[in-house]
Amino acid sequence: MNYLSLADFRQLPEAVILNPPPEKEFSRPTRGISIDSRSIKANQIFWALKGDKFDGHDFIIDALKNGAAAAVIDRNHAHTVSAMGIPIITVADTLAALQKMAALHRKKFNIPILALTGTNGKTTTKEMITWILQTKFRVHKTWGNLNNHIGVPLTLLHLTSDHQISVIEMGTNHPGEIAVLASLVQPTMSLITNIGRGHLQFFNDLDGVAREKLDLFNYTLPKGLLILNKDDARLSVYTSSSHVLYSYTLQESTTANVHGKIVSFDDSGAGIWKLNDKSVINMKIAGRQNVQNALAASTVALYFGFQEEEIKSALEKYTAYEKRMQIIQNGHCTIINDSYNANPDSFSLALETLLQLSAKQNRRKILVMGDMLELGNSSHQLHQEILQMAYSSNLVGIFTLGEFFRKAAKKFKIKNPAANINCFLSHQELATALKKFIKPNDIILIKGSRGMQMEKILAFL
């Protein structure tokens, strides 16, 4: 199955194996690795990583007691576990070793490896791609949103010879991160969902975001496939002499390999759209943005030989991923739970979905929005922009959480004293006020940056 064995660590020059087993056992496969001592399975390797809140080295003995076959640790911790009698692999830096081992492990496989990133929609698109492909292939994928400098190597290390295709998501909020991740993955195919106004605190502007995202294309293996979103201004003009380009669009006038056309939206806000004018697909997930995500996933599936009707059959069964445009019935009210993350572009799309939904059903609409984080010097301006957009949308109520929206509302109310904007710094206080305000049949959109934990409001409701 190509899981790691102790013999693999001989490829790491700095690795020293304490308490080595007999030579014949070095090549015996384990059941992979774990960084969590609480959920580790028998015959897994425990990899001790130091995080912001916890240090895995504090839980080495727990992991070994829970059945770990071996442990990878920083060598300055060797004295604490050397007497356990179980193989201990010591390295200079466990995170660096994790990334090196992931890169070495990836080289064992000669299968299509699709890497994807983007400002918005990457997790949903990854899930949709996997949802379709798994009807014909054994697909390896990023679990949840483990898409950073730890999540990507962990994902790679769970790739086995049983898999036929791999779909790996990459996230970034600092320059250079995509280059590091892509150099580990060495994708044979790449997809960038879009380039938008996210993490501007670190990328400065859209050009900075574009440079970072486009590193994924730059690190895709030569002669590999680049999947282009022709509806994104910066992606539509991308060219490469060393890769194959394959594109998609929702615009009738744009030349692309794959075409989608939105027909309408149903009463739940889910898109009804045509794929290549051959199949009409009725989505079960709300929002124009999810038609775009579905079109991207369909483009991947078409490349792998799927027919439009096969894609339709799969997508019409796909439901919303957690905290991403989830439609929840809460008593007599409808809640759109889009609490996973937020930036100005995703906010405007989510608001568009709220307006579509309420217009079709003639219902009151309420917006609950948390601060958009990591926007740098543009933060105050962009919060005012979103607040103005919300106010212009004929909402019966706007509830905000966080200091950025509070300051934006204070400035906004000077010009619009009658504006029904309610600002809070506490999840529970906002939820209490919201409970008193809502009426049966209301539609409520909840959205904010990950750091705002907007799902807590949903829990209070």
Query: Among 58, 92, 126, which residue terminates a domain?
Result: 92
- In terms of domains, do 239 and 151 share one? yes
Residue 95's pLDDT band (cuts 50, 70, 90): very high
Report the candidate in 360, 345, 354, 299 with the shortest Cα–Cα distance to residue 449. Answer: 345
User: Distance between CA 201 and CA 63 in Å, rounded?
Assistant: 38
Which positions ≥6 away from 414 have C-beta within 8 Å?
Answer: none
Which pLDDT belongs to residue 52?
83
Model pTM score: 0.92
70-77 LR contacts (CB < 8 Å, sep 24+):
70/6, 70/30, 70/45, 70/46, 71/45, 71/46, 71/47, 72/9, 72/33, 72/45, 72/46, 72/47, 72/48, 72/97, 72/98, 73/48, 74/48, 74/50, 75/16, 77/48
Which pLDDT belongs to residue 82?
61
Provide the number of structural domains found in the chain.
3
Which pLDDT belongs to residue 83?
62
Which of 1-15, 39-53, 275-289 bottoms out in mean pLDDT, i.e. has the lowest?
A: 1-15
Note whether residue 13 is domain-resident: yes
Query: Among 281, 315, 349, which residue terminates a domain?
Result: 315
Neighbour tally for 303: CB within 10 Å:
17
Query: Among 261, 280, 315, which residue terminates a domain?
Result: 315
Which pLDDT belongs to residue 1?
57
Structure tokens at 369: 């929005």
Q: What is the mean pLDDT of residues 76-80?
A: 81
- In terms of domains, do 333 and 301 share one? no
Note whether residue 101 is domain-resident: no
- In terms of domains, do 307 and 339 share one? no
- In terms of domains, do 272 and 182 share one? yes
Q: What is the pLDDT of residues 190-235, one digit of tens each?
A: 999 999 888 888 888 989 999 999 999 999 999 999 999 999 999 9
Say whether pLDDT at 304 is over 60. Answer: yes
Q: What is the mean pLDDT of residues 394-398?
A: 93
Note whether residue 420 is domain-resident: yes
User: Distance between CA 174 and CA 196 in Å, rounded?
Assistant: 15
Which pLDDT belongs to residue 2?
64
Note whether residue 1 is domain-resident: no
- In terms of domains, do 28 and 83 share one? yes
Q: What is the mean pLDDT of residues 247-255?
A: 91
- In terms of domains, do 453 and 379 share one? yes
Angle at which helices 122-133 and 288-303 cross, to 10°: 40
Say whether pLDDT at 324 is over 90. Answer: no
User: Distance between CA 353 and CA 367 in Å, rounded?
Assistant: 12
What's the chain's Rg over C-alpha atoms? 24
Range of the domain at 258: 109-315
Which pLDDT belongs to residue 8?
93
Read off the CATH number of the domain in which 310 is found.
3.40.1190.10
- In terms of domains, do 152 and 228 share one? yes
- In terms of domains, do 399 and 451 share one? yes
Selected residue with higher pLDDT from 218 and 254: 218
Neighbour tally for 202: CB within 10 Å:
17
Which of 117-121, 155-159, 260-264, 267-271 bottoms out in mean pLDDT, i.e. has the lowest?
A: 267-271
Note whether residue 348 is domain-resident: yes
The half-sphere exposure of 152 on its side-chain side, counting CA atoms within 13 A, is 29
Q: What are phi and psi of 87, to 5 degrees?
A: -55, 130
Note whether residue 98 is domain-resident: no
Report the candidate in 74, 49, 177 with the shortest Cα–Cα distance to residue 117. Answer: 177
Selected residue with higher pLDDT from 9 and 361: 9
Mapping DSSP onto H, E and C, the string for 311-369 reads HHHHHCCCCCCCCCCEEEEECCEEEEEECCCCCHHHHHHHHHHHHHHHHHHCCCEEEEE
Q: What are phi and psi of 98, to 5 degrees?
A: -60, -45
Q: What is the mean pLDDT of residues 112-121?
A: 96
What's the chain's average pLDDT? 92
Q: What is the pLDDT of residues 27-71, one digit of tens each?
A: 888 888 999 999 999 899 999 999 888 899 999 888 988 889 999
- In terms of domains, do 350 and 383 share one? yes
Strand ordering across the sheet containing 33-34: 16-18, 88-91, 70-74, 45-47, 33-34
Instruction: Provide the β-strand partners of residue 189.
Output: 114, 225
Which range in 272-276, 336-340, 457-461 is most confidently predicted, on average pLDDT? 272-276
- In terms of domains, do 339 and 423 share one? yes
